[in-house]
Amino acid sequence: MSKFICSLLLVAFIGLPYSTGDERPNIIVILADDMGYSDIGCYGGEIETPNIDALAENGLRFKQFYNSARCCPTRASLMTGLHPHETGIGHMTNPPGTLNHDAGPDFPNYRGVLNKDCVTVAEVLKPAGYATLMSGKWHLGMDRHEIRPLQRGFEKYYGCLSGATNFFYPEHPRGMFFGNEPIENPKSTTDRRFYTTDAFTDYAIQFLSEEKAEQDRPFFLYLAYTSPHWPLHAHQKEVQKYVGKYMMGWDKLREQRLKRQIEIGLIDPKWKLSERHDVAWDSLDIEKQREMDMRMAFYAAMIDRMDQNIGKLVEHLKKNDQYDNTLIIFLTDNGGCAEGGTLGGKTDPFDLGKWEATYGAGPSYGGNWANASNTPFQKFKHYTHEGGISTPLVAHWPKGIKRRGSLVSDLAYLPDLMPTFISLAKATYPSNYRGNEIRPLTGVSLTTIFEGKSLKRKDPLYLEHEDNAALIQGDWKLVGTKVSVFDGPDASKWELYDLENDRTETNDLSAMHPEKVSQLSKKWLAWANQVGVYPKPSKKNFKDGRN
């Protein structure tokens, strides 16, 4: 063979990013929507989740993993490895056809869409030879094509671009999309009656099957369910499994879940159960109790159905010999949701036809059940207290995780996922992308934990959403609500907790340790200025849309 031909073959080989015998893992991220810390079985709940529980039993459960307290800020951080403010989603994305959360050009970190100063996981993994697939809820901008999944690195997409939708009869502008195209009267890929949870799974499996047949690359799949976000829409097959089971009420349910959490080692028995949110169950009359039982039954049914679909996805991986070398991450975007009022709003939960046909902030299950979902913590979605930001996180990867069946005590949060995926994919995080300077990552790879070692994190964790803020450093947690006015934080609003002895945040130590509050609040403010929490727009800026 001539030197010329050998040179050509060498150049051709080098030009191929990876060989067909690629041993890098497939990566699947499964995100639940508005589900609490204690709802699934492996985190203390009574809802039937055998498939998620099996992943936990043969993988890892993180005791202390944090999200960003709200739907789209969490998604922004998950997709980019940055804090939400750095991505342009310091508050929320805009509802369809509105500029409600766009504070205008004077506040670039509050524009309500992913900006060009960040890259998504898909934009990083695709050049490294990964298929990039997504099914489910996007919620990172929708009104222009350039801010949708296909324009942010995903090769295939099916789902809802908006934040919430009707589960049985989704209609535009909160309807289904295939790629960039809106779908009227959507159907699943199977004969099942249309239901978003089923459809998202069916299309995810279709995308995996197509990739296996066409190119057989390692894949990154983002499966973002809307379950169990309101409106509470569920199949009666699952609902009837739970009707009557919640007549015990939220007070006894919280005690029951806490007992199990202590038994399985998730919760330290010295931590006190946080106070009940509002109304005592025994203060309700029997008719109201039956109504609230029904609301919780619908909520449980939605999680049950989601778990069944996760089982279907896992079975597909097994049949295609992809199970052992696929990292599956399961988590939720925020704590249980108290939206809709203490008792879930006015929509009658017994009017089942109306439940299937309507969309709105109700029916929901209300603040008292959300309090139970977040057992043993206080607060909910929106807040940076433990109930708002603590997520169950299950990691399963038979070929790559050594500590199978273990509980992970290391402190971790969303910005750690991007470095993890980059490390596993042997990808490169860019400093410049399409002519734009990209913000650096600050998270750490979790591969150290997969190898059976400690993360040994040194830097604090920082959070902020809607003037709810937190800093966690070691065992200390600085947290507060309404901690900022528009020109900077109000130090009097901070609370201080020792998470080693009081992760349920029942004993505020701020008055005993004012020097620690001062020290940590200064760190938080320096971070807030660095990532663009400030300047913070006023409510008027948001209400009026663009300046």
In a domain, 397, yes or no: yes
Structure tokens at 384: 């940076």
Q: Which residues pair with 469 in a beta bridge?
A: 464, 480
Domain count, the chain: 1
**Residue 5 pLDDT:** 37
CA–CA dist 426, 422 (Å, integer)? 6
In a domain, 111, yes or no: yes
Active-site entry in 42, 71, 72, 118: 71
Would residue 160 show up in a list of annotated catalytic residues for this protein? no
468-502: pLDDT as tens digits: 999 999 999 999 988 865 445 565 689 999 999 99
pTM of the model: 0.94
Phi-psi region of 146 (alpha: psi -120 to 50; beta: other; left: phi over 0): alpha
Alpha helices (H) in 35-130, listed in sequence order: 50-57, 71-80, 84-87, 121-125
User: Which CATH number does the domain housing residue 273 bear?
Assistant: 3.40.720.10
Cα distances from 495 to residues 468, 481, 482, in angstroms, run: 11, 9, 11
In a domain, 16, yes or no: no
In a domain, 5, yes or no: no
**Residue 424 pLDDT:** 98
**What is the pLDDT confidence band of residue 263, given thresholds at 50, 70 and 90?**
very high
Q: Given CA atoms 412, 417, 419, 422 in this order, what sign does their dihedral have? A: positive
**What is the pLDDT confidence band of residue 511, given thresholds at 50, 70 and 90?**
very high
Would residue 465 show up in a list of annotated catalytic residues for this protein? no
Active-site entry in 83, 91, 101, 139: 139
In a domain, 17, yes or no: no
In a domain, 380, yes or no: yes
**Residue 539 pLDDT:** 74
Phi and psi at 73, nearest 5°, equal: -60, -40
**Residue 509 pLDDT:** 98
User: Looking at the predicted structure, is the pLDDT value of residue 162 above 60?
Assistant: yes
In a domain, 26, yes or no: no
**Residue 19 pLDDT:** 43
User: What is the domain extent for residue 128?
Assistant: 38-427+438-543
In a domain, 443, yes or no: yes
CA–CA dist 87, 76 (Å, integer)? 7
CA–CA dist 25, 397 (Å, integer)? 9
DSSP per residue over 202-220, as a string?
A: HHHHHHHHHHHHHT---EE
